[in-house]
Amino acid sequence: MAFLIYDNKSLRIDTSNLLLDEKHLIEILWTLLEKHGYDFDCASTGVSPGPDLGYFELAVRYWKAALSIYFAGFSKAFIEASVEFLEPWLFNSRHAIELYLKGLLLYVEWYQQLHENSLESGFRTQVAKISNIHNLFDLYTDYKDKLISVLSNWESDHICEPPELDELILTKRGEDILTEISEADPTSFRFRYPSLFYRHEKAKGSHRIQQIQFERNKERLFTITGLPREAGIDFGHVKVMNTIHELFKSLSDIGNHHDSVYSYVDDLQSFAHEW
């Protein structure tokens, strides 16, 4: 039976069918709808075409979801036995970063294609291949190496003036933050599952639970981000959120610079087609 009842463009809630684990959360969130109203419009998934194939757009959605989970999880209105919603918040944050990095790689691929054909459209709805790597540090290193290569061979007369390298890469601090997040979860599995796979002798292995313990051990925290190196270690979530936000903002700024190049090149291509 539905717990959200929609009738004559009005919405109400029936809490009698809710699970114990969700009842308090939904009742508190419902007050937001009562205060600010709600949207009855239909929804649609999907992203917009571009050199990044919509990866930037989806990254922003995951980041907004991470922010929503974070502020719900650490509000005293929702707190549950000091567990909150750590894994969903951290997974969404990490996934947003991964999406941005893959979008950056797709941009560099388009720059490479421009050198072969200056009229190669950035309005892309499909590409031949997208990196299946999940390690954030490896993705960024691949992006940075390819970017330096393509900019060093940039043909200004053929395309346009090259963008500035410093505007398209992370600062030293940004790279350090990214490195720690990557080391905290190199495969993207840590915050997705309750266990991790550990390989033993003769290619055998087993899944080991990520057990909660609330152990205070500063030596098991990363220096810059404050992220725990493993499950069960207490950490200050405000420091973690601040550094993840700092990194995401930097990636967003880089993405905006790429989008500006796309807009300019697209105008030049439109002008060329007119002639």
Q: Render pLDDT for 227-253 as a digit per residue (tens, 0 to 9).
A: 999 999 999 999 999 999 999 999 999
- Segments of 31-181 assigned E as strands: none
At 17, the pLDDT band (50, 70, 90 cuts) reads: confident
In this predicted structure, which of 36-45, 196-205, 237-246, 265-274 has the lowest mean pLDDT? 196-205
Average pLDDT over residues 90-117: 97
In this predicted structure, which of 22-31, 176-185, 256-265 has the lowest mean pLDDT? 22-31
DSSP percent split of the chain into helix, strand, coil, nearest 5: 55, 10, 40
| Average model confidence (pLDDT) across the chain | 93
CA 204, CA 200: separation in Å to the nearest integer? 5
**Sign of the alpha-carbon torsion through 155, 160, 164, 168:** negative
- Most trustworthy range by pLDDT among 26-30, 237-241, 269-273: 237-241
Which residue type does 201 have?
E
User: Parallel, antiparallel, or unpaired for β 195-199 and 205-209?
Assistant: antiparallel
CA 107, CA 113: separation in Å to the nearest integer? 10
Residue 206: strand, helix, or coil: strand
Whether the per-residue pLDDT at 169 is higher than 60: the answer is: yes
β partners of residue 170:
none
